[in-house]
Structure 1
Amino acid sequence: MVGMRDVAKEAGVSVSTVSLVVNGTGYVSDDMRAKVEAAMHELHYIPNELARNLYRNRTNTIGVIVPTILHPFFATLTAHLQREFAKRDLKTLLCSTADAATGESEYVNMLQRHMMDGIIMAAHTEHQPDYWTSINRPIVAFDRILGEGVPSVRSDHEAGGRMIARQLIGSGARHVVLVGGPRSQFAEGTTFPTVRYHLTVEQMTAEAGIACDYVEAGSVTDVVAHEATAAAIFQRYPDVDAIVGSDVVAAMALQEAERRGINVPDELQIIAYDGTMAAELAGKRLTMVRQDFAGIAAALAEQMDQQIEAENGSERSGQAGEPSNASESAQPGQVVPVSFIAGETTR
């Protein structure tokens, strides 16, 4: 196997010069670099990636923690994140907490042992904020608040709620049913920013004198239960004339309405919230609030870049004990715009 010593001998330079070229550290003149690169090409030298990463104290791997990839939202988000990190020559290590017994703790341990460079946390956690703030490694939260100093990225859910409410008010809706996760997530101090679109719709429809009820669809990991939830809406609220929920819920509600002979959108309006492929395959073009997955992934990757850069800067300055996720350069709550897409399921 060809090693650095072989390359150094072929190029007529020192092993340390070859190391600087391979690892991209320190100054090497253009002539020296050209000699080393020519020797590497001539000898078909392949750098040892593991050794390079150990030298840099990097793994070039980012952990992504989601509840489940069975749900279209998290499958779509994961695909965009993997694409975004690949642009940065970073690998993605996926953890689906519902599908792995160890959950996020194993990934946090890996992060603390420097087996990955950072974590995108996009799943529910029962750990208290001091757990996350004490890790002192690069962590970026998506659509949740982990604690002071841990940067986060979320969609503009308040704007999404306003878009939905205006559509319903303007079209003369009389009884709206919102479908979402456990109502306990709405408690003061919740870590789930997504509830803000529900709360916004509730407030605006109440002000307009429109009846609005909330139905729990169960855990985001229980996608199958959403079909039963859609059927239960019509039994519980026979006068419902507007349903708002995730793409999966909206698609199920549309299919249930068709089975019951309910005309959409004349008798019933349906609005999806997310904008994944599931909304495109519902049978009709669902009216939706679309989250910008590419924008979300880019924002998360940029925040992660900042965290890793801050950590590397702290280590170079001899302050490795300083929490990298409290860097002043990180934006504590970056908000990504959403868009309203009119389809065939609203008037």
Structure 2
Amino acid sequence: MASIIDVAKKAGVSIATVSRVINSSGYVNQATREKVLESIKALGYVPNELARSMLKKKTKLIAMIVPGLYNPFFADIAHHVEQELDQHGFKMLITNSSSPLGLEVEYLEMLKQNKVDGLIIISDNEIEDLIEGELPIVSFDRHFKHTPYVACDNYDGGRLAAKSLSNAGSKHLLYLGDDSYVSQGHFATEVSKRKSGFLDYCQEHHLTCDVLEFPKNTPIEDTIRTVLSEKVHDGIFAISDFLATKIIREAKHQQINIPQDLKIIGFDGMDDSLNTGLIITSIYQNRTKIAKELVDTLIKKIKGKHVDHKIIPVSLKKGETL
């Protein structure tokens, strides 16, 4: 059976353009519209008109898109969201945004066709053109036009990390992040405020600090190895606990004493040592609270109520790396 992706490929247009033609939403010039309609006919693609015409028959299903369940932070968020949804009588479907983009498109199409009641998005993919403001969608951290988001106070977390490293005696600080794609302005997310808060605090208190960023999902072990071997920095703020574990492992390999010679703060506040042998000192994000706010916001959106963005406070979770 042909899919919306097949139609887009055959017509030589974006998936978003096909969606606008199918749903009669947004501007599409006549020539492009005819090309899409011809492709739909040639492939025998049949949009779910019956589902689209139903008056919001409830499925009690919520779809969730996450960047990857290999990251324990996102796996834990998904776990708490599923528990929270269960308390409201909903079941959850889940997919990885690190998988091919087509899976995210399918979930968005399911939402438009009333096959799920709502969608929770944690994604690094460029899907803005597919998000429609009236749809029951809530995002974690990521900004989409006319879509509410829930986030922790990333800016305050960055400031707290710098302050904590400084108070612990670090003199040469480093911000290490895998957020450069976002920082270069491809899309907006609350996560980038971790760096802003960190740098602002350093500047205000005349602290020496450097920044090193690299694109997500790229091999970074060589970079970490080089940074640590230079022994320039005695305090590192990692954008996530997941990244902090890589730094700790390499530091141990180089026989760098933590926290005596190198202090490390992560971000997320996971509950164990993540197989490093050390409990990471980290900026704590309350996953239970995040899940509750995501679900509460989405349910309000499903019911047609007005919803605002929600920012959740963070705190320092003390471990063994500071």
Instruction: Spell out, residue by residue over 1:24-68, the C-alpha distance to the aligned partner (whole angstroms, 9 max, x if none).
Output: xxxxxxxxxxxxxxxxxxxxxxxxxxxxxx897011111101121
- 1:345 and 2:321 matched: yes
Offset of residue 183 of structure 1: 2.2
* Corresponding residue to 2:235 among 242, 247, 255: 242
1:248-327 to structure 2, matched below 5 A, reads 248-277=242-271, 279-310=273-304, 327=305
Structure 1: gaps (5+ residues) = 1-53, 311-326
Instruction: Indicate if the aligned counterparts of 1:64 and 1:93 stay in contact, CA closer than 8 A.
Output: yes
Unpaired stretches in structure 2, ≥5 consecutive residues: 1-53
User: Structure 1 residue 81: deviation in Å?
Assistant: 1.0
Work out which of the residue numbers 216, 219, 227 in structure 2 matches 1:233.
227
Rounded Cα–Cα distance in structure 2 between residues aligned with 1:278 and 1:180 = 21
* Residues 60 and 117 in structure 1, CA contact (< 8 A), matched pair in contact too: yes
- What secondary structure sits across from 2:249 in the alignment? helix
Once the two structures are superposed, what CA deviation does each residue of 1:105-146 show, in whole Å capped at 9, x if it has no partner? 111111101110011011023133x64235x32000110110
Quote the Cα distance in structure 2 between the aligned partners of 1:271 and 1:70: 21
Partner of 1:283, secondary structure, is coil
Match in the other structure for 1:215: 212
Q: What does 1:153-172 correspond to in 2, within 5 Å?
A: 153-172=150-169
CA RMSD of aligned residues (A): 2.2
Cα offset, 1:294, TM superposition:
0.4
Q: In the alignment, is the contact (CA less than 8 A) between 1:72 and 1:278 conserved in 2?
A: no
Using the alignment, how far apart are the partners of 1:232 and 1:155 within structure 2? 32
User: In the TM superposition, what whole-angstrom CA distance separates every residue of 1:217-273 from its partner, at most 9, and x where no partner exists?
Assistant: 531x45xx35444323214x4211111111122122122222222111111101111
Deviation by residue 1:253-308 (Cα, 9 ceiling, x = unmatched): 12222222211111110111112246454211211111110000000000011011
- CA shift, 1:197, in A, is 1.3
In 2, Cα distance between equivalents of 1:196 and 1:56 = 37
TM-score (norm 1): 0.72
Contact 1:160 1:338 (C-alpha < 8 Å) held by counterparts: yes
Paired residues in the alignment total 268
- State the SS of the aligned residue for 1:284: coil
Q: Does 1:142 align with 2:133?
A: no
Partners of 2:78 and 2:220 in 1: how far apart? 22
Write out per-residue CA displacement over residues 297-340 of structure 1, whole angstroms, 9 at most, x where no aligned residue. 00000001101111xxxxxxxxxxxxxxxx4x211x10111120
Q: Which residue of 1 aligns with 2:198?
A: 201
Instruction: Say if 2:202 and 2:209, in contact at 8 Å, map to a contact too.
Output: yes
Q: Distance in 2 between matches of 1:112 and 1:65?
A: 15
Q: Report if the CA contact (8 A) 1:177-1:214 is conserved.
A: yes
Residue 50 of structure 1: aligned partner: none
AA matched with 1:205: C
- Measured in 2, the distance between the counterparts of 1:55 and 1:138 equals 14
* SS of aligned partner of 2:243: helix
Shift of 1:214: 2.0
- Residue 48 of structure 2 is matched in structure 1 by none
Radius of gyration: which is bigger? 1
Of all paired residues, the percent bearing the same amino acid is: 28
Structure 2: distance between partners of 1:226 and 1:91: 37
